[in-house]
């Protein structure tokens, strides 16, 4: 209600007729419910973490919602299914990001967010809306889902394949505990049986000209992909169940036939603190300028297996497109990389983040790092701390530059133990970035040891509170929907909901009563006893 009083309506129906929203609604037929109304209702729904039905009831019952939405008190609301249909339209293309841009345009016009300031980014895991499956369960469930989809379209294709045990294996959702307990079979034997059943279904589709259209069904596509990943055709025509070491990397493996975008990933060192999840990863970026509300300026969603370094450039691209390019971008140590630092330099954005020290081959902690070597880029000569020189600067395929020092200089060097722990007959080898990136990394490494840098970097910790707020309220870490596009839409709506709450607190002019002091504090104050900070 305070946001409505201060800013008026955040969306208008005209906003949904241009740009990314131009083809969101057909121009013919009876007009639907106002998209501006549905957009605001959806944001409020995630603000209070409500279901579609509860949100529709809140529109009809809550006076505060009617006031914020600009509705009459007599408004009776709409059917809850409208919200699901509206989200399906928003999930297409880049409409989710465009909806956040509409809100930010309104806030930018009100002077609540600006370009050139300080912004910070961090990520968190998002669990997929699917059950965790082992390999056998994933294969069995994929075959069951494909059979169900084909049976709805062409039951005659499935009937000839049915045989003893099919109803037990695929008559309901696959659970290896139930199947192994009843059959007394090993997991390997069950996997081979499922593989043979799936291969017979694929062969039936390939040999029947009328059944070729089944290859266009989503579950059939997933079935073929999973069979290629987990089975190998032998010379005898039978399928061999691949060993775990032969499977494709986690970034390519399908973990559930019901959400092919979900990926398995881990975070942290092995042990009690190690975290494992199947799903995706959400990156939140917010402004953190003094005197202004801290609002979410970008939401970026990636597969769970993508490292944080891949998000720096896309996030900055979207901020620049919204005319919200930051002057300083605060990140944790998982984000900086050579390409990211180089792209930020070209954009005129200063990265404030800890940079890990790269030592090169044969070096360990405590030995000389690249910043201890002087590189003369004009002459192509590198000087080591002991005074030896190297003219060997060769570019590598990964974009780095390899600098090798002569064995004759490194063998008798008196400070060799401080430089390399490699074999005695080898010289020191450095791997450095090209000149602009190497210079920037060296400068960042030198600055991060100063009190001034540490004081500026303290502001980055605030993004942890934003992620906590998005998790505790709207439930950021659990996806309601399946698929990366719908998960990204949910993350964007959660970011907008956080903005509403932040703006509501910013426009709150009521004075909060101070916390009542304890009796001990009162006695200490009355008797003049000094208190510690």
pLDDT digits (tens, 9 = 90+) for 11-44: 999 999 888 998 888 777 777 899 999 999 999 9
CA distance 333 to 102: 32
pLDDT above 70: percentage of residues in the chain: 96
Residues 6+ apart with CB under 8 A from 346: none
d(CA 444, CA 438): 10
- Output the pLDDT for position 182: 57
Give the chain's domains with CATH numbers. 1-90 (no CATH), 109-130+266-354+448-508 (3.30.420.10), 135-246 (no CATH), 370-435 (no CATH)
SS3 220: helix
**Distance in angstroms (rounded) separating the CA atoms of residues 27 and 46:** 29
Q: How many CA atoms lie within 13 A of 208 on its CB side?
A: 16
Angstrom distance (rounded) from CA 267 to CA 477: 15
Q: With 80 as the cut, is the pLDDT of residue 181 above it? A: no
Distance (Å, whole) CA 113 – CA 297: 9
- Is residue 437 a contact partner of residue 341, using CB atoms and an 8 Å limit? yes
Mention every residue, 6+ apart, whose C-beta is less than 8 A from residue 402: 392, 393, 394, 395, 396, 429, 430, 431
Nearest-angstrom CA–CA distance, 120 and 406: 44
Among 145-149, 501-505, 529-533, where is mean pLDDT lowest? 529-533
Task: Report whether 286 contacts 294 (CB < 8 A).
Answer: yes
Residue 481: which residues within 8 A CB-CB, separation 6 or more? 129, 487, 489, 490
Please state the φ and ψ torsions of residue 393, each to the nearest 5 degrees: -130, 100
HSE-up of residue 67 (Cα within 13 Å, Cβ side): 9
Answer yes or no: are the C-beta atoms of 205 and 211 closer than 8 Å. yes
- Asked if residue 79 lies in contact with residue 56, where contact means CB atoms within 8 angstroms, the answer is yes
Stretch 70-96: mean pLDDT, rounded? 93
The model's confidence at residue 426, banded by pLDDT at 50, 70 and 90, is confident
Q: For the residues 66-72, what does the mean pLDDT come to? A: 94
Nearest to 24 by CA among 35, 8, 38: 35
Q: Hey, what are 148's tokens?
A: 């169900």
- What was the pLDDT predicted at 533? 47
Q: What is the pLDDT of residues 460-502, one digit of tens each?
A: 999 999 999 999 999 999 999 999 999 999 999 999 999 999 9
pLDDT in tens, 360-384: 555 566 678 888 888 888 888 999 8
Burial of 418 (0-12, 13-18, 19+ CB in 10 A): middle
Average pLDDT on 312-319 reads: 95
Whole-number Å distance between alpha carbons of 528 and 532: 13
8 Å CB contact between 501 and 76: no
Dihedral-angle region of residue 362 (phi above 0 means left; psi in -120 to 50 means alpha; beta otherwise):
left
Best-predicted range by mean pLDDT (217-226, 272-281, 354-363): 217-226
* CA–CA gap between residue 258 and residue 131 (Å, rounded): 9
Contact 371, 442 (CB under 8 A): yes
DSSP calls for 227-263:
HHHHEEE-TTS-EEEPPGGGSPPTTT----TT-TT-E
> What 3-state class would DSSP assign to 310?
helix
The side-by-side arrangement of strands in the sheet containing 401-404 is: 392-395, 401-404, 429-432
Average of per-residue pLDDT values in the chain: 89
DSSP state of 32: -
User: What digits encode the pLDDT tens for the residues 116-130?
Assistant: 999 999 999 999 999
Q: Are strands 429-432 and 401-404 parallel, antiparallel or unpaired?
A: antiparallel
Cα 157 to Cα 214, 347, 476: the distances in Å are 10, 58, 42
């Amino acid at each position: 209600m305070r946001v409505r009083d201060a800013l008026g309506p955040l969306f208008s129906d005209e906003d949904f007729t241009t740009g990314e929203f131009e083809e969101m609604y057909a121009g013919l037929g009876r007009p639907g419910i106002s998209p501006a109304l549905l957009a605001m209702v959806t944001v409020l729904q995630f603000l209070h973490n409500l279901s579609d039905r509860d949100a529709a009831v809140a529109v009809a019952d809550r006076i505060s919602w009617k006031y914020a939405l600009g509705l009459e008190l007599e408004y009776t609301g709409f059917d809850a299914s409208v919200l699901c249909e509206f989200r399906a339209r928003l999930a297409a293309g880049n409409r989710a990001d465009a909806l956040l841009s509409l809100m930010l345009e309104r806030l930018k016009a009100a002077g609540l967010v600006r370009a050139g300031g300080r912004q910070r980014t961090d990520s968190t895991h998002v669990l997929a809306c699917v059950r965790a499956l082992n390999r056998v369960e994933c294969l069995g469930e994929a075959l069951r889902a494909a059979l169900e989809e084909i049976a709805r379209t062409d039951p005659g294709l499935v009937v000839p394949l049915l045989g003893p045990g099919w109803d037990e294996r695929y008559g309901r959702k696959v659970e290896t505990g139930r199947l192994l307990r009843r059959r007394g079979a090993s997991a390997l034997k069950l996997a081979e049986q499922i593989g043979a059943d799936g291969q017979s279904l694929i062969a039936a589709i390939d040999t029947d000209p009328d059944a070729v259209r089944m290859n266009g069904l989503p579950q059939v596509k997933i079935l073929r992909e999973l069979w290629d990943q987990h089975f190998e055709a032998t010379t005898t025509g039978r399928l061999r169940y691949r060993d775990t070491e032969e499977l494709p990397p986690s970034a390519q493996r399908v973990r559930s036939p019901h959400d092919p975008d979900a990926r398995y990933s881990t975070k942290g060192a092995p042990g009690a603190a190690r975290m494992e999840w199947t799903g995706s990863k959400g990156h939140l970026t917010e402004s953190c300028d003094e005197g202004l509300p801290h609002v979410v300026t970008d939401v970026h969603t990636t597969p769970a297996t993508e490292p944080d370094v891949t998000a720096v450039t896309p996030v900055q691209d979207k901020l620049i497109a919204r005319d919200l390019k930051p002057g300083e971008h605060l990140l944790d140590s998982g984000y900086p990389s050579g390409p990211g630092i180089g792209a930020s330099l070209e954009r005129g954005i200063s990265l404030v983040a800890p940079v890990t020290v790269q030592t090169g081959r044969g070096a360990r902690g405590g030995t000389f790092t690249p910043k201890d070597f002087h590189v003369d880029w004009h002459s192509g000569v590198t000087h080591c701390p002991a005074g030896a020189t190297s003219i060997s600067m060769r570019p590598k395929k990964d974009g780095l530059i390899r600098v090798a020092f002569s064995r004759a200089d490194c063998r008798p060097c008196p400070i060799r133990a401080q430089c390399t722990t490699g074999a005695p007959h080898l010289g020191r080898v450095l791997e450095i970035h090209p000149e602009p990136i190497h210079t920037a990394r060296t400068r960042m490494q030198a600055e991060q040891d100063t009190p001034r840098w540490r004081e500026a970097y303290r502001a980055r910790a605030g993004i942890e509170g934003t992620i906590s707020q998005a998790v505790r309220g709207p439930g950021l870490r659990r996806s309601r929907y399946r698929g990366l596009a719908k998960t990204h839409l949910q993350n964007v709506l959660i970011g907008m909901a956080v903005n509403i709450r932040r703006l509501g607190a910013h426009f709150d002019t009521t004075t909060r009563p101070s916390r009542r002091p304890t009796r001990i504090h009162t006695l200490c104050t009355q008797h003049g006893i000094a208190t510690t900070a």
